[in-house]
Every structure is written in structure tokens, then in C-alpha cells.
A = this chain, B = another copy of it.
Amino acid sequence: MEFKKYLNQQCTVVEQALARYMLTEDGPLANHIRAMRYSLFAGGKRIRPILALAAAEALHSTTEHLLPVACALECIHTYSLIHDDLPAMDDDELRRGKPTCHVVFGEAEAILAGDGLLSFAFELLSHPDAQQGMTPDAQLRMINIIAHAIGPNGMVGGQSLDLAAEGQAISFEHLRLIHGYKTGALITASVQAGAIFGKADEAQFAALSQYGVQIGLAFQIVDDLLDVEGTTEDLGKTAGADAQRSKATYPAFFDIAKTKVLAQEAVDAAVTALEIFDAKAEPLRALARYIYERNN
């Protein structure tokens, strides 16, 4: 119960920061900005920004000046959803219970809304406001880690592998690789951003990174489960889409029960990685459990 309250509070903090930093719909660029805002304010759970804030909190850091970074992470996540949903990609018409960006604004503007959000994210990551909370060296390291995590050797590469694997017989190792790149990399980088902001030492950074890797894994396993077990109404996106596109998923390799065990194991490993932290890491621990409980 208390954790739900924490989650709602943090979500509000992120929403308010997004409203403050995001461009407003006026002037000649109003339509472009409207397309970006449409997807950015479509009711996301703000997991990645909240993870960054919670990681900094685990290190006893205040988080006010981490907010531009938190917003950047959400802009990046939103851009990835817009592009993944495009007709040339997953061709999804529903996201968070609303028509996808390209359905409302057309394909060209949806591509540009994604491009705009990605570029804007790096404007936020290098924002003077963020410079108040950390050294320029720390900020550069953070930018480098995030850029790496979302690029060819990360999120974008993962989407490329995912598309190539459609309808193909792939190994379980390959599935893990795709998941790690496509979903895990940005989740891990979000935790690492908070770790850098919170001035983590080497051991703390390693522990938080391990936590990030494990919840990234849990997140994707649960996502695979939701696609099988959820309804379109619950999900706010088309249920059963993975099977329809012959996508490799955890439930395609294991039965549902075993898949749930694997998700639980990843959550346990994430919590174990946080052993060196005190009670300030409680929100991170609860977040790991929350990811599993999305489905249960």
C-alpha cells in the first residue's frame, strides 16, 4: 500500500517535471510539438525516470536536479514506442489504450515526433539545470552511458534483431540477447544514471548495474507473459500481438508456470544485488517486486 503511494507520488513528480521541461504547442511548430506531447503524455507509468530517482535516493541523494535526466529517459522511451509502433515496424494501432502516434498524426510526423523526442532528450541530458547536481565529468559519463545503451549496441540494435527474428526459429540465447538490448539496456542505463548522480562508488555502481540488468530481464519476461495472458483492454495495446507476428518469447520456450518462476528469479536476483544498501533502497526493492506483480 505504502509503495503504491510512493509510486503515485514519484509519477506526479515526473509528470510535473515533464510539463515544465517539455515544449509547448505554439508557434509554427505547434503540430510537431503536439505529436510529441500526444505520446509523451499518454499515461505512461514513468518506470525509467522513477528508477533513476530511486537509485539516487538509495545513495542518500536529493533528486531535484536529476529531473531533467529523468525526463530525458521518458522522452527516449516514448520515442522508441512511437517508432516501434510504425507500420513498417510492429504496425500497432493501439498504445496505452489510445490510437498510436502515426494513426493520429500520420506516418511522417510520427517518425519526426520520435526523432524530435530523441534529440530533445539529449538537450535535457546536457541541460544546465542538471549541471547543478553533479560534476560535468559525471554528466558526460551519464550521457555516454545512455547514448550507448540506446544505440546500435543497445535498444535500436535490439529492435533490429527483434524484427529480423520474426517468424524465425531462434535459440533461447538469441532471445536473451534481443531482450537485453531492446528492453534491458535502457532500464539498466536509467538505474546507472541515478547511480552516477548519487555519486556511487565502484561497488555501488556495480551492484546497481546488476540490479538494473535483472529487473530489465524480469520486465521483459513479464511483458511476454502479459502479451499471452492479458486482454487488449487491460494492456492498452493489442494482446496476442507477439504470437500473431511469430515473435520468439519466453512462453514460447517454456510453459507459463516455468516462465513465472524465471521472472521471480530475476526479481530475487535484483533484490539480492541491493544487499549492500540500507533502507533508502527500499523503493528500488519494491520496484523490482512491482514489475513482477504487474502480471499477478
**Chain A residues close to B by CB (< 8 Å):** 23, 28-29, 31-33, 36, 83, 86, 88-89, 106-109, 111-112, 114-116, 118-120, 122-123, 125-128, 131, 135-137, 139-141, 143-144, 146-148, 150-157, 159-161, 163-164, 174, 177
Residue of B nearest to A120 (CB): B151
Max count, chain B CB within 10 A of own CB: residue among A123, A128, A148, A154: A123
Residue of B nearest to A131 (CB): B140
Task: Give complex CA distance A79, B119 in Å.
Answer: 12
| B88:A156 contact, CB within 8 angstroms | no
Task: Give complex CA distance A160, B108 in Å.
Answer: 8
| A116:B23 contact, CB within 8 angstroms | no
| A29:B161 contact, CB within 8 angstroms | yes
By a CB distance below 8 angstroms, the chain B residues around A157 are 29, 32, 116
Per DSSP, chain A at the interface is helix
By a CB distance below 8 angstroms, the chain B residues around A148 are 123
| B123:A156 contact, CB within 8 angstroms | no
| B136:A119 contact, CB within 8 angstroms | no
A–B complex contacts, Cβ < 8 Å, 20 sampled: A23-B152, A28-B174, A28-B177, A31-B160, A33-B152, A36-B152, A88-B107, A88-B108, A88-B111, A115-B118, A116-B156, A119-B151, A122-B147, A123-B144, A123-B147, A125-B143, A125-B147, A126-B141, A127-B144, A136-B139
Residue of B nearest to A181 (CB): B29
By a CB distance below 8 angstroms, the chain B residues around A112 are 83, 156, 159-160, 163
| B126:A160 contact, CB within 8 angstroms | no
| B115:A83 contact, CB within 8 angstroms | yes
Known A-B contacts A28-B161, A136-B136; the reply to A111 vs B123 at CB < 8 A is no
Task: Give complex CA distance A112, B122 in Å.
Answer: 18
By a CB distance below 8 angstroms, the chain B residues around A123 are 144, 147-148, 151
By a CB distance below 8 angstroms, the chain B residues around A28 are 161, 174, 177
Closest CB in chain B relative to A126 CB, distance in Å: 4
By a CB distance below 8 angstroms, the chain B residues around A83 are 111-112, 115
By a CB distance below 8 angstroms, the chain B residues around A154 are 119
